[in-house]
Structure 1
């Protein structure tokens, strides 16, 4: 592509192209013999591309065992893909530019604005600096705690690698692990250190960089933005509600919580409530959960994390806006009011658009896969929603997908990471100014 053509691309198209290029490079690297574990054959290019897509889109669905099938080189490649995918390739490019003391152009600021879902370019480079400082600091602190914890089980060198690797994976809501046999963190279901640190990483990565920046500036401003209040209140509500529902449904389930101590039950209930917020790690056997719990987790995965975060889904603010719209309509009110602030009408329209596109994608792909994959519809719906929400939780379908199934799940992960609207804007023809408007008409609703 000529440079002139590249300059004509809109920010959404540059984001789509950038992520696609990173996935392709990652797929090539992971298919090389050097990426295969000693004594193992390199995985196929399709499986390598699937793994690269899952890592770059910070999902965690895997067709190859990360801890068993990849060498240290392959695992480092996956970790770097997670970091670049979680923070965004434009954020990482800005880091390099800042280190080289290069000036950030207007066009680059526009792309950063789109990548972080900001309404304006004001202070965008300052926000990027904060994002990088907060992210790397949080990951470093968590890596040290994990290293100390795992130093009791592994040699110090391996404990340090595991600590750094899982700190990056958890903070970026990727859900990849190195413990092999697709176990995730199930062996640490009763471990408060691993559980609490992992949950803190997932929550901090999922609330969004804008919220983190707002919280860090609270001491000076003594005020939180409406966005931060909505994200924190919605996230807290969903986590507590999710933990309560999972605790009740799974308390006596012999395949999950049944054999655990009361502390283990509480920890696992909260962990499984936090992780559908696009993290993907699990301390309970997902396939062993009751169907009611599995369906409830599908709902949590569909909602996902918050805007400007490492997570996917329709986002907490979208969910809250829809609920606010429903409540306002039932009460006969004209405005959606949150924390004594009225939302503009276009916020509700955008929330409806995102939700409908997401719902259509999930339903359509689930219907397609139900004809190609010989598994229950709930299992297929769970896997598709997990891919769209960039969650990574699995009932065991991913490793047994057909070629067509792998391609569809890859596309879902890609769409989920970029967001339905960004993808729609990237695919639509160039906008043309409307020269006229049609007369208003009325139809009967409901």
Structure 2
């Protein structure tokens, strides 16, 4: 809200400042004011800092500060950081936290160098400005934030693979999750010969959904004059592929989302809700959760008493956790969508897209975010916050204490279906 944070030196209203701060720390990318037009360089740096902290994760960042200040981690902080980074052994927390920081900085640096070189050489932007733009978009990409310093996001670079490819690589790697990246690194160094079940499910589901998204967007929008129809075939493939991958919660767009066909918006809704990999910079219910429920359904259809995935048996508590995450997400998006329909004049396609984008911390929008009332924007703030924390974490935080039952009730089976 400080005057120095705005371009014209005035105080930004508290709802706009809160919305932008939440969107930054939750690495969402939804905006109610034009980022390069409203915010000064100082304001943009505040956004950039929040994106970086949000991408690391609050407990990861706090653990890093603990390591730097005291050179050790207390047991409570180790447990919290282990939960956030999906670390199973407390003794590995410090190594994992430092690994998260190292991977983030290395990927962001490589992406920034590629973008800076292209902007300076291909668009004749002064080196200093090109470096600033490259660093900002690299951090935003790897952390799946979707904030851009161009008013039209990346539409101006829709057919430029030298800009689109580095950004795609950054947000895909960030969206896969740090556990997957660490395991791939160990496998490359021959420290681990067999891939774990988690990495096989994550990579398989992520790849399948990426293919579905790219084919759907290119196929549906190919002749739409307001989106892909204006480009040559190669340009259509580049722009369409980027737009099909960005619902993995990246949030950048190379097409005018508001001009896309309703079928494309619906496909994007589903992809945004699913999101990316666990313990990474992506949001959504996570591709692993989606895949696990698919395996549960397959086992039920086959009449199998247990769920087997790639040669492994899934424990029953995994089903309950996956169902809780999915149904909580569906309920939150439904409630927010219904409320927004009641208090705003916008149609269902736009409102559902907005609510799903906020919950999945994606940042894509049909263009109605800035036109929502303050009440509507505050609803999106809550959705972004809950979506970043995760439904289970949020529900657990609301619970005063755990209650253990010392008895059980008689069993009775209702009719299902």
**TM norm. shorter chain > 0.5:** yes
Alignment match, 2:2: 32
Q: Secondary structure at the match of 2:247?
A: coil
Alignment match, 1:90: 59
1:308 aligns with 2:279: yes
Alignment match, 1:173: 144
1:425 aligns with 2:368: no
Residues 125-163 of structure 1, C-alpha deviations (whole Å, 9 max, x = no match): 211121111111000111111111111331111111111
TM-score by length of 2: 0.97
What pairs with 1:21-420 in structure 2 (closer than 5 Å)? Answer: 31-37=1-7, 39-100=8-69, 102-152=71-121, 153=123, 154-180=125-151, 183-218=152-187, 219-420=190-391
The CA deviation at 1:122 is: 4.5
Name the CA distance, whole Å, in 1 between partners of 2:301 and 2:66: 51
The CA deviation at 1:101 is: 5.1
How many matched pairs? 413
8 Å CA contact retained: 1:176, 1:281: yes
8 Å CA contact retained: 1:205, 1:311: yes
8 Å CA contact retained: 2:248, 2:275: yes
- Which consecutive unaligned segments of at least 5 residues does structure 1 have? 1-30
Name the CA distance, whole Å, in 2 between partners of 1:261 and 1:43: 42
Name the CA distance, whole Å, in 1 between partners of 2:365 and 2:3: 28
8 Å CA contact retained: 2:78, 2:93: yes
8 Å CA contact retained: 2:5, 2:41: yes
Name the CA distance, whole Å, in 2 between partners of 1:118 and 1:262: 45
Residues 235-262 of structure 1, C-alpha deviations (whole Å, 9 max, x = no match): 1111011111111111111111111122
The CA deviation at 1:443 is: 1.1
Name the CA distance, whole Å, in 2 between partners of 1:93 and 1:396: 35
Residues 347-391 of structure 1, C-alpha deviations (whole Å, 9 max, x = no match): 111111110010000001100110111110110000000000000
Name the CA distance, whole Å, in 1 between partners of 2:88 and 2:322: 15
8 Å CA contact retained: 1:362, 1:385: yes
Name the CA distance, whole Å, in 1 between partners of 2:381 and 2:89: 31
Name the CA distance, whole Å, in 2 between partners of 1:43 and 1:305: 33
The CA deviation at 1:175 is: 0.2
Name the CA distance, whole Å, in 2 between partners of 1:328 and 1:366: 33
Name the CA distance, whole Å, in 1 between partners of 2:162 and 2:195: 30
Q: Secondary structure at the match of 1:123?
A: helix
Alignment match, 1:10: none
8 Å CA contact retained: 2:60, 2:85: no
Name the CA distance, whole Å, in 2 between partners of 1:438 and 1:322: 27
